[in-house]
A and B are shown apart, each in its own frame.
Chain A
Amino acid sequence: MTRFVVAMGCEARPVIARYGLKSVADDLPFPVFRKEDRWLVVSGIGRVNSAAATAFLFQLSGGRRNCGWINFGCCGHASWPVGEVLLAHKLVDASNDRSWFPPLAFSAPCRTSTVCTVDRPERRYAVDQGYEMESVGFFAAASRFATAELVHCLKVVSDGPGDRLEQLTAAKITSLLEAHGDTLGTLVTANEALAAELLSAHGVPAELSEILERWHFTVAQERQLRRLLQRWEVLSGGQGVLQNLPEVGSSSKEVLVYLKRQVAREAEKKGLGEDSIEQPAQPGREGE
């Protein structure tokens, strides 16, 4: 469950090869590759392209929240040698000095550094940090679709002060990125473990869609239903509740009353309390 965003085809090649991704279609606004639940989009250069491609990939890949998002590519660095790999711990937008701090919920698979997103290739390297042209756009967009712990920028240093960018060929970039396939793999594995934890905790209750098909619920009732089913799953250890529902009558209200009773009974059996009382209503999950 990873979404890769890269700026150029030469940056995509190592990822495509490593994960066996295949082109999705020819007529899309951005080239997209996929295998199972790993997707990659080639955004083009620049923060706006990166943000647009990130949003496009989110929709195209099913609009599922809290997948892992990784921006993989090359960057310049004021002091690090060519070929070094870095994970961004701070992103700076050079156009307005705004900063973002991707939270790392795992041990970084490589050294970490500040990365500054600029609008033109950097020549001055005034601050000791990485320089590239996409990360800020990518991060701002992707962190709307996933909690920030799942959104990361992994960069390989391709140039530095005094280097001539004209000499930086596509083949060289691919080669530099290929050399850090294992670092990428470690990051993907760690990120997917986090995403899996959230998916497991926040997954849609197994019987929600079937119940919604059989009874009509208002938006508020649907929230109640979702939480009741979550509670039921936690308390019953994943047992189904649906087989008994036809007996409860025809209205959604009756379904909710029935579920509340079942949850209270199960809670009492588990020794969590004896009263059958409602918890406060849950608002919709953020962004939903």
Chain B
Amino acid sequence: MIERIYIEREVEDHPRTKEICGRFPKAVRISCERYGEVFNRKAQSFRLQKRQPALVLAKKHGATVLAAPAGYGIGSQENFYFSHMLNCLYDCRYCFLQGMFRSAHYLHFVNYEDFQSGIDEVLAASPRAHFFSGYDCDSLALEQVTGFACEFLPFFRARPQALVELRTKSAAVKPLLEVEPLANAVVAYSFTPAEIAEALEHKAPPVERRIQAMEKLQARGWRLGLRFDPVIYHPSYQEQYRQLFRSIFERLDSHRLHSVSLGPFRLPDSFFRNMVREFPDEALLAGPLVSRQGRVSYGEELEQEMLAFIGDELRNYIDEGIFFPCVEVPASCQGAGT
């Protein structure tokens, strides 16, 4: 799976580096001074690198925990995110990562201890803060490589007033099934209708497998979230979303869900331009999207129509109290990810 591992000299002797390298004994190891020499250089193609991404092991310098953009939250006013990894195993054509980075390598920051210090600093001022981990990557998709959940779940278990969201499309939930569920963790699954997922969410587990994974997690006692973000248009979107909700809610106990969120397809203008540069032949990006206030999305009328319809449908299944539609999205809110 991983044929090459680039390693920053500074983390060559980090225990996590050694552990990860040990999992890929056949991978070629290439040393670099800073990950910027390898990742996101000019004259790189996200599209081509996505065919065979390498793993980059590096140290995250500077701020490890950042305030989440406005409109991003599931019930708290104090929302933060941290990214132990940049880029994703999956290849969703609507994802902003393809517009944010020139490189598709998996950039993994191994200094978890600094992320945890950063979280503790935030908690000192905001003890009930929410932390989102699946912003620049899928929280669980590369768990076998990163051991992220195994490391951070015990950390949050010891900080019961905080809440952490693991956002994912991964069906590989064995690591979660093997441990006692956390009361202050939410495993949040992203969905688009099956037809859209098949067309746009390359390499991601099909909708059905995600639902199966959620069933197992719910049975085990994990708190779950549903994320319908981004909403993608199709002439039959109403029936598609109805069908999706039927599939999900006939299998999951909606009363035990932690939260459900809904958000439009939106991208900052600059990311959209980069995505078009990489994928000019992608029909989704060739469609009638509009640029307004620095972000690209569907036309306002269509967007509102879709969000209203899907929101109303969701309310047939869930209590209003756990529903968090993404309301105000400034350009800085980077939109559709995992």
User: A149–B45 contact, CB under 8 A?
Assistant: yes
Question: Chain B residues with Cβ under 8 A from A18's Cβ?
Answer: none
| Residue of A with least CB distance to B103 | A103
User: A270–B52 contact, CB under 8 A?
Assistant: no
Residues in A76-124 with C-beta less than 8 Å from chain B: 89-90, 99-101, 103-108, 112, 114
| Residue of A with least CB distance to B50 | A105
CB distance from B145 to the nearest CB of A (A): 19
A81 to B169: give the CA distance in the assembly, Å: 47
Residues in A231-280 with C-beta less than 8 Å from chain B: 231, 234-235, 263-264, 267-268, 270-280
User: A273–B233 contact, CB under 8 A?
Assistant: yes
User: B281–A200 contact, CB under 8 A?
Assistant: yes
A99 to B30: give the CA distance in the assembly, Å: 11
Task: Tell me if A16 counts as interface (CB < 8 A to partner B).
Answer: no
Question: Chain A residues with Cβ under 8 A from B62's Cβ?
Answer: none
Task: Tell me if A198 counts as interface (CB < 8 A to partner B).
Answer: yes
User: B272–A279 contact, CB under 8 A?
Assistant: yes
Which of A23-31, A140-148, A152-160, A163-171 lies at the interface?
A140-148
Question: Chain A residues with Cβ under 8 A from B6's Cβ?
Answer: 101
Task: Tell me if A283 counts as interface (CB < 8 A to partner B).
Answer: yes
Question: Chain A residues with Cβ under 8 A from B236's Cβ?
Answer: 271
Q: Give the most central of A146, A234, A286: most B CB within 10 Å.
A: A234
| Residue of A with least CB distance to B38 | A101
Question: A101-B6, A234-B283, A267-B286 in contact; A198/B48 too (CB < 8 A)?
Answer: yes
User: A275–B302 contact, CB under 8 A?
Assistant: yes
CB distance from B203 to the nearest CB of A (A): 15
A227 to B272: give the CA distance in the assembly, Å: 13
Proximity bits, B295-322, A CB within 8 Å = 1, else 0: 0101101100000000000000000000
Question: Chain B residues with Cβ under 8 A from A231's Cβ?
Answer: 286
User: A234–B282 contact, CB under 8 A?
Assistant: yes
Task: Tell me if A207 counts as interface (CB < 8 A to partner B).
Answer: no
Question: Chain A residues with Cβ under 8 A from B52's Cβ?
Answer: 104-107
CB distance from B295 to the nearest CB of A (A): 10
| Residue of A with least CB distance to B44 | A148
Question: Chain A residues with Cβ under 8 A from B38's Cβ?
Answer: 101, 103
CB distance from B128 to the nearest CB of A (A): 39
Question: Chain B residues with Cβ under 8 A from A272's Cβ?
Answer: 233, 283-284, 286-288
Q: Give the size range of B's interface with the partner.
A: 35 or more
Task: Tell me if B329 counts as interface (CB < 8 A to partner A).
Answer: no
Task: Tell me if B234 counts as interface (CB < 8 A to partner A).
Answer: yes
CB-based A-B contact count at 8 angstroms: 144
Question: Chain B residues with Cβ under 8 A from A274's Cβ?
Answer: 233, 288, 299, 302
Task: Tell me if B158 counts as interface (CB < 8 A to partner A).
Answer: no
Task: Tell me if A8 counts as interface (CB < 8 A to partner B).
Answer: no
Residues in A210-232 with C-beta less than 8 Å from chain B: 227, 230-231
User: A90–B30 contact, CB under 8 A?
Assistant: yes
Contact of A279 among B233, B283, B296 (CB under 8 A): B296
Question: Chain A residues with Cβ under 8 A from B291's Cβ?
Answer: 278-280
Question: A275-B299, A280-B269 in contact; A268/B288 too (CB < 8 A)?
Answer: yes
A108 to B30: give the CA distance in the assembly, Å: 14
Question: Chain A residues with Cβ under 8 A from B280's Cβ?
Answer: 201-202, 227, 230, 234
User: B30–A275 contact, CB under 8 A?
Assistant: no
User: B43–A275 contact, CB under 8 A?
Assistant: no
Question: Chain A residues with Cβ under 8 A from B273's Cβ?
Answer: 280, 282-283
Proximity bits, B232-252, A CB within 8 Å = 1, else 0: 011110000000000000000
| Residue of B with least CB distance to A66 | B45
Task: Tell me if B112 counts as interface (CB < 8 A to partner A).
Answer: no
CB distance from A139 to the nearest CB of B (A): 10
Contact of A197 among B3, B44, B48, B277 (CB under 8 A): B48
CB distance from A142 to the nearest CB of B (A): 9
Task: Tell me if B333 counts as interface (CB < 8 A to partner A).
Answer: no
| Residue of B with least CB distance to A112 | B28
A286 to B38: give the CA distance in the assembly, Å: 19
Task: Tell me if B68 counts as interface (CB < 8 A to partner A).
Answer: no
Contact of A273 among B4, B41, B43, B302 (CB under 8 A): B302
Proximity bits, B263-299, A CB within 8 Å = 1, else 0: 0000001001100110111111011111100001011
The 6 A-B pairs of least Cβ separation, nearest first, read A275-B299, A272-B287, A277-B290, A280-B291, A231-B286, A271-B235
- Which residues of A does B touch, CB under 8 Å? 89-90, 99-101, 103-108, 112, 114, 143-144, 146-150, 194, 197-198, 200-202, 227, 230-231, 234-235, 263-264, 267-268, 270-280, 282-283, 285-286
Sample (24) of A-B pairs whose CB atoms are under 8 Å apart: A103-B48, A105-B52, A106-B51, A107-B3, A146-B43, A148-B44, A198-B45, A230-B286, A234-B283, A235-B286, A235-B287, A267-B287, A268-B288, A271-B234, A271-B236, A272-B233, A272-B286, A273-B233, A273-B288, A273-B299, A275-B288, A275-B301, A279-B290, A283-B273
